[in-house]
């Protein structure tokens, strides 16, 4: 549509042949124009049947996007926020690439819990005692 291929995570292109477009009338602002033009865009990508993604990415995407898939593995993205079909196409493509990019991202590194060094903890406790002492000395006790 825009002349440039859809790139997932900056390296893997999605072939235009695997993308299917549907257009319909969208609601919202636009006056009489809304009633006559098909500006809402639905972009569909068959994730289950694609050969464009590496097998690891495909499995990861199918697992993570399971609740969003329709018709046995098809990812559908809608855009209707703009008044022109062209801008809605661009928005749908951006949304699709963002969704797939997030879905195929490697899992985050597991955080290894660390311990607070003993010296830091002791200094913190000493500071607390010192502060408590200062406040205790300020209080007007023994005014009998």
Of 57, 19, 63, 23, nearest in space to 41 by CA:
23
Distance CA 45, CA 97 (A): 11
- What are the phi and psi torsion angles at 110 (to 5°)? -75, 130
- The DSSP element (H or E) to which 133 belongs, if any, is helix 118-138
Per residue in 1-44, pLDDT (tens digit) is: 555 667 877 778 888 888 888 888 776 666 666 667 778 889 99
Q: How many residues does the chain have?
A: 144
Per residue in 67-93, pLDDT (tens digit) is: 888 888 888 999 888 888 889 989 999
Give yes or no for residue 50 having a pLDDT over 90: no
Distance CA 29, CA 37 (A): 13
Q: How far is CA 126 from the centre of its chain?
A: 45
For residue 119, what are its two tokens?
């010296």
């Amino acid at each position: 549509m825009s002349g440039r291929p859809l790139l997932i995570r900056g390296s893997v292109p999605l072939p235009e042949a695997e993308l299917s477009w549907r257009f319909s009338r969208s609601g919202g602002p636009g006056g009489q124009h809304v009633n006559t033009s098909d500006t809402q865009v639905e972009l569909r990508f068959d994730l289950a049947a694609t050969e464009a993604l590496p097998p690891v990415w495909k499995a990861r995407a199918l697992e993570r996007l399971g609740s969003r898939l329709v018709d046995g593995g098809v990812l559908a993205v809608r855009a209707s926020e703009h008044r022109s079909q062209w801008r809605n196409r661009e928005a749908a493509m951006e949304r699709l690439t963002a969704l797939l990019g997030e879905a195929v991202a490697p899992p985050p590194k597991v955080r290894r819990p660390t311990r607070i060094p003993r010296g830091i903890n002791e200094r913190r406790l000493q500071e607390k005692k010192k502060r408590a002492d200062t406040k205790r000395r300020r209080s007007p006790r023994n005014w009998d």
